[in-house]
Amino acid sequence: MQLRIPSAAVKAQYVDPTQVVVDPVRHTTSPLVTGGSVVGIRCCDGVVIAADTLASYGSMARFQNLSRLVKVTDNCLLGGGGEISDFQEIQRLLENLITKDFCFNDEHTQSPRSVHQYLGRVLYAQRSRLNPLWNSLLVGGYTAGQSFLGMVDLYGTTFESEVLATGFGVLLGLPLLRKAYRPDLTVQEGIKVVEDVYRVLFYRDARSINRIQVATATEAGVTISEPYSLETKWDFKGFVNPRSPYDESTW
Amino acid sequence: MASIGTGYDLSATTFSPDGRVFQVEYAQKAADNSGLTLGVCCKDGVVLAVEKILLSKMLLKESGRRVHLIDQHAILAVAGMGPDGRQLATRARQECEQYRNIFRAPMPGHLLAERIAGYVHVHSLYWHVRPFGCTVMIGALEEKQGPALYMIDPSGTFYRYYGCAAGKGKQGAKTGLEKLDFRQLSCDDALLELAKLINEAHDESKDKPYEMEMIWIKSDTGKASLVPPNLIETVRQRAEQIAREEEMAD
């Protein structure tokens, strides 16, 4: 809280409370360093979540080698977009949660569903205090033969689905994910689908780069791949000879 | 042995004429009243063991823990009042969590021991709280120091040890510990040595049956864990067998 006392009153010993000007309490109302889309698909033998490795500073591609995918437990993983410092805070909260479980040593670990609920509660509580953690998170996991994929946004909205995405991934990725989804989709096929989505995102999302990581949660555990680039095709007629700038239909 | 501190023992804020704080000494007696608790710092890790007296046949084993995981690199064992020890374990966990939050690194063992010792000591300074009636042993593994073992008594005094003992039968256990070569001792060997010491200290006819709780951190995994119950059972049976063989040889 900032207490700004007019200079005349500083010399006086008594501060007239009616003369005191107090700034309203301000919390972060716009994100600074942001991560882009996160995309996920639920498969019969696991979950696939992918994200690119870019943290943008407005329109600048500031940090190009940042992992936005995190292993929470041996059967739960988290992908985050939005304000990166808030995402790091969420990582810290989850690490503390997992350490507490470790110390209890009762063979109970947080299930992916529990992690999803926990994050939903934390984000809702923050937003209710008008101090949001400005993130869109995808939580995925595989326990007891069941895949789980859920989303939490900065308002604390939570839902589960077979296909999920955040940011531009919702507009460009979800149609592709929905088309490709089958109940008997395998993780290997799922990886191909999310790669395809990220190819499109790289073509069309101005705040993306061609370097992605793909994480999977299966019976064997959670693995997060090393970053890699996708093959892209730039000799489409529309890219080589873009139409008149006055014609806005680039689709 | 027991000196009566008439008049000078009513609060922790009173010294006696010969410079003793009786409340702290009484707390130490509470710590000495428990089953034997042992700690060993081996060449490749730290092992703590507790002889937990089972007060009733109705008790479920493995409940009422006296060994606690503090963080992935730190462990704690309690000699004395269990609830007091649990409070210290909780405090140690909070200290380690806070250290990780600020420095993103595991809390060094000597720092953790110092903080817990300070916390124990502070409870001997005020009239409205009582000292902790337990001695705790803290084992930690860190990059620079390697495995380390600390013992903190109710006065808040703490030292770093190769091997330490607390509770009933600690004198005999200390003699047994002094015979070990800590530079050569491995964690796996230490399990058997500790089981033997606890078995020797335990008097079948006088004391109630006991459960052995053991906890360790090994350098190769770098992670603290409770010793699995079947491994404890194996070393306990081996220790009892060795004791029987020695008796027959006499």
User: Is 70 exceeded by the pLDDT of residue A47?
Assistant: yes
Mutate to test the interface with A, among B69, B94, B99, B226 (most CBs of A within 10 A): B69
ipTM of this complex > 0.90? no
- Write out pLDDT tens, residues B147-177: 999 999 999 999 999 999 999 999 999 999 9
What is the value of pTM for the model shown?
0.86
Measured between CB atoms, which of A92, A104, A105 is closest to B101?
A92
Residue-wise DSSP of A68-131: -EEEEETTEEEEEEEEHHHHHHHHHHHHHHHHHHHHH-SS----HHHHHHHHHHHHHHHHHTT-
Question: What are the structure tokens assigned to B12, written together?
Answer: 């922790």
- Write out pLDDT tens, residues A67-107: 999 999 999 999 999 999 999 999 999 999 999 999 988 88
User: Cβ B97–A92 below 8 Å, yes or no?
Assistant: no
Q: Which of these ranges, A188-192, B95-99, B200-204, has the smallest mean pLDDT? A: B200-204
pLDDT for A31 equals 93
| B230 vs A: CB within 8 A | no
Percent of chain A with pLDDT over 70: 89
pLDDT for A13 equals 67
Q: Which of the four pLDDT bands, split at 50, 70 and 90, describes residue B129?
A: very high
pLDDT for A241 equals 77
Q: Which of the four pLDDT bands, split at 50, 70 and 90, describes residue A171?
A: very high
Strands B45-53 and B37-42: antiparallel
What is the residue-averaged pLDDT of chain A? 91
In chain A, what residues touch B69 (CB-CB under 8 Å)? 102-105
Reduced to 3 states (helix: H, G, I; strand: E, B; else coil), residue A1 is coil
Closest residue of chain A to B226, computed from CA coordinates: A105
Which residues lie below 8 Å from residue B96, measured CB to CB, with a gap of 6+? A99, B70, B71, B74, B106, B107, B112
Measured between CB atoms, which of A92, A95, A103 is closest to B93?
A103
User: Is 70 exceeded by the pLDDT of residue A251?
Assistant: no
Reduced to 3 states (helix: H, G, I; strand: E, B; else coil), residue B218 is strand
Question: What are the structure tokens assigned to B224, written together?
Answer: 């603290």
| B62 vs A: CB within 8 A | no
Chain A, chain B: beta-carbon pairs less than 8 Å apart: 23
Judge whether A28 counts as a catalytic residue.
Answer: yes
Higher pLDDT, A24 or A204: A204
Closest residue of chain A to B106, computed from CA coordinates: A99
Higher pLDDT, A163 or B54: A163
> What stretches of B48-169 show up as alpha helix (H) in DSSP?
82-103, 109-122
Question: A51, A66 in Cβ contact below 8 A?
Answer: no
- Write out pLDDT tens, residues B172-216: 999 999 999 988 999 999 999 999 999 999 887 777 889 999 999
Measured between CB atoms, which of A99, A104, A105 is closest to B97?
A99
In chain A, what residues touch B101 (CB-CB under 8 Å)? 92, 96
pLDDT for B55 equals 85
User: Is 80 exceeded by the pLDDT of residue A191?
Assistant: yes
pLDDT for B1 equals 43
Higher pLDDT, B162 or A249: B162
Residue B102 sits at the vertex; the CA angle it makes with B97 and B104, to the nearest 5 degrees, is 75
pLDDT for A26 equals 66
User: Is 70 exceeded by the pLDDT of residue B120?
Assistant: yes
pLDDT for A108 equals 87
Mean pLDDT of A176-183: 97
Taking the C-alpha atoms of residue A239 and residue A10, their distance in angstroms, rounded to an integer, is: 65
Question: B96, B46 in Cβ contact below 8 A?
Answer: no
**Number of neighbours of residue A225 by Cβ within 10 angstroms:** 13
Residue with tokens 């399990």: B191
Measured between CB atoms, which of B68, B71, B226 is closest to A99?
B71
pLDDT for B228 equals 93
User: Cβ A99–B72 below 8 Å, yes or no?
Assistant: yes
- Write out pLDDT tens, residues B25-84: 999 999 999 899 999 999 999 999 999 998 888 888 888 899 999 999 999 999 999 999
| B184 vs A: CB within 8 A | no
